[in-house]
Amino acid sequence: MADKAAINGLLRALVDHTRSHFQREELLLKKSGYANLDEHMALHQEMTEKLVALQQRYEQSSDPELGDDALEFLCTWFDEHVLEVDRRYKKTDICTS
């Protein structure tokens, strides 16, 4: 069984990475004048809140089921956000600068 402290550390690192990734992406989208910035930022906020809630739940309970929830979060991020939502700004300056 995986060490709880190690998993807690990974989840905290994932929260930090997620926040910095979204902040950087939003800054670039803002600079490029992306029209759907508010909608995109709301999706980032929703995903960050879900991840923070998951990390806090794990820290308090160490429920092994939360490992599956973390994996599901990452799959959703890639399948729904990166491959669909993020691709909507493919033709903006953010991808050519």
Q: Where along the sequence are the contacts to Fe ion (CB under 5 A)?
A: 25, 86
Least Å distance, CB 64 to Fe ion, is 29
CB 18 within 8 A of CB 51: yes
46-58 burial by CB neighbour count: b if 16+ within 10 A, else e?
A: ebbebbeebbeeb
CB 14 within 8 A of CB 37: no
Least Å distance, CB 72 to Fe ion, is 18
Nearer to Fe ion, 11 or 86 (CB): 86
Nearer to Fe ion, 25 or 59 (CB): 25
Residue 58 has phi, psi (to 5 degrees) of -65, -45
Nearer to Fe ion, 42 or 71 (CB): 42
Least Å distance, CB 7 to Fe ion, is 24
